Amino acid sequence: MQLSEIQSIKQRFGIIGNAPTLNRAIDIAVQVSGTDLSVLITGESGVGKENFPQIIHQYSPRKHNAYIAVNCGAIPEGTIDSELFGHEKGAFTSATSDRKGYFEVADGGTIFLDEVGELPLSTQVRLLRVLEAGEFMRVGSSKVQKTNVRVVAATNLNMQDAISEGRFREDLYYRLNAVPIHIPPLRERKDDIPLLFRKFASDFAEKYTMPPVKLNEEAQQLLKNYYWKGNVRQLKNLTEQISVIEQNRDITADTLNRYLTTPEIDNLPAVLSPTHTDSKTFNSEREILYQVLFDMKKDMNDLKKLVHDIIAKEDLTYPSDFKTNTGNTLVTPQTDNEVINITPNVVARPKKINQSDDSIEDTEEYVEESFSLIDAEKEMIKKALERHNGKRKYAAQDLKISERTLYRKIKEYNLE
């Protein structure tokens, strides 16, 4: 496609930028529009994925039929099947009449499924049938209906991770991903950032009837070097704040720095030390268990040191050849790099020796501590839920696992 044609499409759909990766995404969207292939649009939150389904629809033979955009993450799990596929009267308590779903209403047109990775597994099965056979059934009905709908989906999730965690069906992923389109994040389009700022500043100047704000060279460079975790949406919000608040319409780097308050620590390598084990970043359940093991090791080392200090302070002793039930001599910690031993350990509690007694008896109590990985994981989940007053969403973010995985663990460990 010629560059002039791409520029025309950008103007029509309000897309700002000249990055080659952005132009490539637009080119693919136009090329695939004439087919009925399913399209999966990927990219981080805030990059503008919602523009591309409209390009596909408007340049397709379906452009005179319905176009429906559905935010899958905003519809409750209990009602999403009814929204997408409709229901029969009496199918559930509030179903007082028949209702057409989006796939029935959009017959001959296009459906855009935003945040498709949030669909429940039961709904994914229904969607797969639509994509494979063009068939669906209303909730509460046994009658099969036909539909001719073009499906365009979008997600900001890593779909391979969702598949491996059992949150998304692999067969559905390959059906949706017939044609992939990736929208680049704003930090990979550095030269587009001043253009976007200028466009947003002009729009807000017109909206609030005031002169547009302008960036000097240093401020522009500062914007280019910023990480922009929220991408275009974050830049737009920043521009609006500056447009409304700043009296001086010439924006310097010092002025801009007051609005860029989020620390960019996500991009720096993490340096962990044994004294900073409270700084947790978990990418999987396995890492939670690793962290539990390291915490257990630290607790055991602290306990050994405590026993050693008590012996030295209270004039206590124990035989030098005393062994734990694992065959290891009870010693004070030598190094932070020793191997974690999670087999049952024995803690000796020496009794004070009466030096005046000729028949000295050394008696020890043995307390067996059995550490279970399941108990440790259960305890971490309980503590996370307590920290966030039972709010699973924030507890899952704290543990760095998905909310559905946390829900499954709560059910498994009976932590309701």
Say if residue 238's pLDDT is above 70.
Answer: yes
Helix (H, G, I), strand (E, B) or coil at 69: strand
Q: What's the pLDDT score for residue 92?
A: 83
Residue 211 CB neighbour total at 10 angstroms: 10
Query: Token pair of 394, please?
Result: 């924030």
Contact between residue 171 and residue 132 where contact means Cβ atoms under 8 Å apart? no
Look up residue 243 and give its amino acid.
S
Say if residue 275's pLDDT is above 90.
Answer: no
Query: Token pair of 242, please?
Result: 């500056």
Q: What's the pLDDT score for residue 335?
A: 41
Assign domain 374-412 to its CATH architecture: Orthogonal Bundle (1.10)
CATH of 3-184, one of 1.10.1660.10, 1.10.10.350, 1.10.10.10, 3.40.50.300: 3.40.50.300
pLDDT in tens, 289-346: 666 676 777 777 777 777 777 766 666 555 554 444 444 444 444 444 434 444 444 4
Please report how the helices 51-58 and 20-33 are oriented relative to each other, as an axis angle in degrees rounded to 10.
40
pLDDT in tens, 22-77: 999 999 999 999 999 999 999 999 999 999 999 999 999 999 999 999 999 999 98
Say if residue 151's pLDDT is above 50.
Answer: yes
DSSP 323: B
Tell me the CB-side half-sphere exposure of residue 314, using CA atoms within 13 A. Answer: 15
Residue 341's Cβ-count burial label (10 Å; 0-12, 13-18, 19+) is middle
pLDDT in tens, 107-120: 999 999 999 999 99
Q: What is the pTM of this model?
A: 0.62
Residue ranges covered by each domain of the chain: 3-184, 188-265, 285-350+363-371, 374-412
Mean pLDDT to the nearest integer, 174-184: 96
Question: Regarding the domain delimited by 188-265, which CATH topology (the fold level of the hierarchy) does it fall under?
Answer: Helicase, Ruva Protein; domain 3 (1.10.8)
The count of residues in the chain is: 416
